[in-house]
């Protein structure tokens, strides 16, 4: 088989790990790397600041995009596909927004467009949805798919303040350049768009959906919850409903012992609830080598088979809220609960409601799942 020649757009943590992995393979060669400032790198490979040296080079087979952000990454990816190159990307923002269009563009040009690294870092979840589970009916897909918020909530449970925990997540390299995408729930929402796009053949625009992050969570909430036997994580869920698709990203309460509360650091967990049963994926949701492993696997899949696959078909299904229970408690433990209808179930210091109560000073409400 001929050697595959690739070019990379970006040389950050993930890009460097791709270089490291490919250094041990002789079937895939890195021809060029697009960087902003060549003087900042000491790597022994050809660097360029001109993307057209890559797009217009007929010897390059695959472009690996690891620069992040929509602009100019989307334009570069589109141009690469138009000029007959396959693309592998880790860019969840581009895939969440333009995935459907880019898959079609790749198909028209008989090229591959793969993005395993865009969700769940090193977990082969998209591969499972794309191939293994393609003909299985999927009822719901749910998980903790943002390592930064997982890490922050865990640290806050141990007593660290939000801002300090966020700084640590940034220092460890989990958080996005602009961490508001992580803590605001948008990173999870983009990943959920990609997962639900493949699971339900319907590409949802995350920005328009029911998304809340963890910025309003305080250490005192977490301690109160723990005293009541619960923990909190930012969970994303998409589910098939009668004629719509439920889509939510929200801080959600689980009884202590739940698998989401055992995840450490940037670990992710995703459950696929399907006709074939419930299948769980757990593993590294971020990190250079883990994410680069997914990229290199996509490169290999394109080398061997991908351009010949059947096109995926997508429908436009309306999006709906997901009906949930809400755990509601007073921040001040000693204060009594407000007057509530009998239909609400009372626990020790908390209420369980099947709908969110109107905002009230001192009342904290979180989405609640019993399982």
List residues near ligand HSE by CB under 6 A: 121, 146-148, 174-176, 182, 187, 266, 285-286
Q: Is 235 left (phi over 0), alpha (psi -120 to 50) or beta?
A: beta
What is the CA angle 276-186-277, rounded to 5? 5
Separation between Cα atoms, residue 97 and residue 67, nearest integer Å: 16
Separation between Cα atoms, residue 227 and residue 188, nearest integer Å: 28
> Given the complex with ligand HSE, which of 121 and 185 has the nearer CB atom?
121
Q: Which residue in 32, 191, 346, 361 is the catalytic one?
A: 191
Separation between Cα atoms, residue 238 and residue 245, nearest integer Å: 7
Separation between Cα atoms, residue 236 and residue 328, nearest integer Å: 20
> Given the complex with ligand HSE, which of 79 and 266 has the nearer CB atom?
266
Separation between Cα atoms, residue 300 and residue 131, nearest integer Å: 15
* Helices 13-22 and 288-304: angle between axes, nearest 10 degrees: 60
> Given the complex with ligand HSE, which of 190 and 221 has the nearer CB atom?
190
Separation between Cα atoms, residue 205 and residue 14, nearest integer Å: 26
Q: Is the peptide bond before 72 cis (omega within 30 degrees of 0)?
A: yes
Can 191 be counted among the known catalytic residues?
yes
Least distance CB 195 / ligand HSE (angstroms):
13
Which ranges of 66-208 does DSSP label H, i.e. alpha helix?
Answer: 73-82, 92-108, 125-127, 147-157, 162-171, 180-183, 186-200
Least distance CB 168 / ligand HSE (angstroms):
12
Least distance CB 204 / ligand HSE (angstroms):
18
Separation between Cα atoms, residue 186 and residue 181, nearest integer Å: 5
Diameter over CA atoms, the chain: 74
Least distance CB 107 / ligand HSE (angstroms):
26
DSSP string of 276-304?
Answer: TEEEEEEEE-S-HHHHHHHHHHHHHHHHH
Considering Cα of 218, then 222, then 223, then 228, what sign does the dihedral take? positive
Q: What is the token pair recorded at 122?
A: 């090193």
DSSP symbol at 56: T
> Given the complex with ligand HSE, which of 74 and 174 has the nearer CB atom?
174
Least distance CB 305 / ligand HSE (angstroms):
26
> Given the complex with ligand HSE, which of 79 and 297 has the nearer CB atom?
297
Q: What is the token pair recorded at 21?
A: 């992995």
> Given the complex with ligand HSE, which of 94 and 286 has the nearer CB atom?
286
Residues marked as catalytic: 191
């Amino acid at each position: 088989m001929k050697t595959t020649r690739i070019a990379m757009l970006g040389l950050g943590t993930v890009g460097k790990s791709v270089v490291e992995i490919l250094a041990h393979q002789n079937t895939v060669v890195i021809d060029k790397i697009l960087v902003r400032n060549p003087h900042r790198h000491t790597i022994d490979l050809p660097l360029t600041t001109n993307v057209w040296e890559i797009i217009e080079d007929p010897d390059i087979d695959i472009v690996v995009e690891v620069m992040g952000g929509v602009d100019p990454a989307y334009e570069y990816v589109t141009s690469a596909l138009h000029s007959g190159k396959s693309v592998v990307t880790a860019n969840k923002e581009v895939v969440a927004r333009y995935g459907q269009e880019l898959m079609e563009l790749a198909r028209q040009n008989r090229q591959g467009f793969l993005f395993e690294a865009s969700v769940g870092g090193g977990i082969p979840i998209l591969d499972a949805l794309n191939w293994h589970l393609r003909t299985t009916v999927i009822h719901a897909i749910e998980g903790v798919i943002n390592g930064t918020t997982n890490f922050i909530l865990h640290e806050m449970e141990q007593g660290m303040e939000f801002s300090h925990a966020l700084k640590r997540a940034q220092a460890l390299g989990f958080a996005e350049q602009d961490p508001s995408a992580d803590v605001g729930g948008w990173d999870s929402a983009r990943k959920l768009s990609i997962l639900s796009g493949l699971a339900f053949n319907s590409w949802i625009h995350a920005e328009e959906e029911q998304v809340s992050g963890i910025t309003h969570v305080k250490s005192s909430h977490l301690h109160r919850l723990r005293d009541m036997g619960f923990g909190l994580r930012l969970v994303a869920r998409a589910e098939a409903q009668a004629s719509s698709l439920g889509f939510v990203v929200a801080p959600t309460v689980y009884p202590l012992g739940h698998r989401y509360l055992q995840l450490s650091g940037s670990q992710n967990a995703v459950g696929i609830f399907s006709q074939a049963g419930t299948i769980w994926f757990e593993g590294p949701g971020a990190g250079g080598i883990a994410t680069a492993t997914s990229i290199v696997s996509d490169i290999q899949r394109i080398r061997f088979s991908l351009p010949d696959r059947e096109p995926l078909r997508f429908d436009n299904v309306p999006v709906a809220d997901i009906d949930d229970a809400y755990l509601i408690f007073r921040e001040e433990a000693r204060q009594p609960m407000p007057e509530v209808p009998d239909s609400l179930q009372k626990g020790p210091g908390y209420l369980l409601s099947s709908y969110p109560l109107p905002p009230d000073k001192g009342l904290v409400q979180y989405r609640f799942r019993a399982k």
